[in-house]
Structure 1
Amino acid sequence: MKHLVAWLPLLAIAVVTVPIYQQWQRSQPSRPHYDNPSTNWKKPALTKSPGEMLSGHWNVVPGSVEDGNTFQVQQQGRVEIIRLACVNAPQLDQPLGVRSRDHLRSLFAQANNHVILTIADTDRQGRKVAEVNVPTPRSDEEKFVQYEMVVAGWAYPYEKFADHCPNWDVVQQGMKEAKQNQRGVWAVAPAVKH
């Protein structure tokens, strides 16, 4: 009897959490899993045209660049986790993963960690998926971060989610140039995406 009484709190927690977990599981297929392209998610058309997407100026949180496509931003006390739209970078434990992350860090550092986001989606982990631009010093021009990552060879175009990339053609052009010049992932056989 003592053993049964000891298990009652755990049983009560299970009764409450199992339905919540099941509801959460049912909601997951409706969101893309950007870090696992093997999932059977079908890409829907954008619900907003690129001109209607949420855009704004943010600051990259120092030390928050996790890899070549994930980082945090802040604006007026609000913090968001950002996943680069259009591209997929090697993970840190994969060939060139650290160099990919470091290149993204350097792009942000050149712009004093100031970024301009155009948010296209929210993924399963709750991250905002965005096209990212950084201002250039002494110029009114901006650099398109996804293009810069791909043309340098530190990321691949992410074809599965091309519909969520208003500037897909620019990203594709960056890949052509990186492949032609065998930069980064295109120069190292184990890093080449198949």
Structure 2
Amino acid sequence: MTKLQTRILRIINPVVAKLGKLWRQVKPFLDPILTKLSKLGHKVKDFLEAIFTKLYFQFRFLFNLGTYPIKRVPDGDTIVVVDKAGKSINVRFAWIDTPEIPHSKAEEKSRKLVYKSQFKWGYRAKERVEELIAEKGNKVFLKITDTDRYGRKVCEIRLRDGTFLQEVLVKEGLSQIYERYFKKCRSTAILVTAEKDAKRWRRGLWRDPKFVPAWEFRRLED
């Protein structure tokens, strides 16, 4: 080491030491500010993503790109749409399972509390889907993820403003996530968060002690 380097180090070392000491003193006060800025950054990012998503789907809806008119809503997790050729397509909502509705007069008239509870929430889920779709122009965007054993197209469903229909139903306590088919789910985090929120605030079926999940109810009928 040359004499010049030694002199430089003698000057720099105390400065570095003082800066290190100053940083240790200031850091406890800066940490909360940096954390808030980080959170704000995430909020801004989420806000911009939400705006972009809405504009993207509004554009597609305006020019009829990938939209499907609704023909009917059989229940809370099934819709029938019409393609460009006028052919009906049965669509099953991906990754969720809504309460059942009665499939016979006997079921509808049943006095069993478990039946009454199931059908009450089944009808509410169906009505909510009809309401949401009607509000957004009776058309939806479909992202097909699979075909089930009944030949239905299993889809992620979005409304004209980009609203994720499955998320709304789960968050409002009108449906439950269907973990059995989560392996192919692209929106796991969104749906899990929505269900946690519904449970926490006891929305919809989560406040009903007589309710049993739809997949368990179907086994009762077998």
Q: Shared fold (TM-score greater than 0.5)?
A: yes
1:131 is the counterpart of 2:140: no
Cα distance, 1:101 vs structure 2: 0.7
Tell me the distance in 1 between the aligned counterparts of 2:127 and 2:184: 25
Structure 2 residue aligned with 1:69, among 67, 73, 77? Answer: 77
Structure 1 residue aligned with 2:127, among 97, 102, 113? Answer: 102
Tell me the distance in 2 between the aligned counterparts of 1:167 and 1:160: 14
Tell me the distance in 1 between the aligned counterparts of 2:197 and 2:173: 9
1:133-170 per-residue CA deviation (whole Å, 9 max, x = no partner) reads 0013xxxxx10000001001100000000122211211
Tell me the distance in 1 between the aligned counterparts of 2:184 and 2:75: 21
In our comparison, the structure showing a higher alpha carbon Rg is: 2
> What's 2:147 paired with?
122
Off by >4 Å, runs of 4+ in structure 1: none
User: Which amino acid in the other structure matches residue 92 of structure 1?
Assistant: I
Cα distance, 1:75 vs structure 2: 2.1
In the alignment, is the contact (CA less than 8 A) between 1:70 and 1:82 conserved in 2?
Answer: yes
Tell me the distance in 2 between the aligned counterparts of 1:174 and 1:111: 21
User: Which amino acid in the other structure matches residue 176 of structure 2?
Assistant: Y
TM-score normalised by L of structure 1: 0.65
User: Which amino acid in the other structure matches residue 88 of structure 2?
Assistant: V
> What's 2:66 paired with?
56
Cα distance, 1:192 vs structure 2: 4.5
Tell me the distance in 1 between the aligned counterparts of 2:88 and 2:183: 26
Tell me the distance in 2 between the aligned counterparts of 1:122 and 1:161: 12
Higher strand share goes to which structure? 1
Gaps of 5+ in 1: 1-54, 137-141
Tell me the distance in 1 between the aligned counterparts of 2:198 and 2:212: 12
Higher helix share goes to which structure? 2
Over the aligned positions, Cα root-mean-square deviation in angstroms equals 1.5
> What's 2:107 paired with?
none
Counting only pairs closer than 5 Å after superposition, residues 1-40 of structure 1 correspond to structure 2 as none
Q: How many residues align?
A: 133
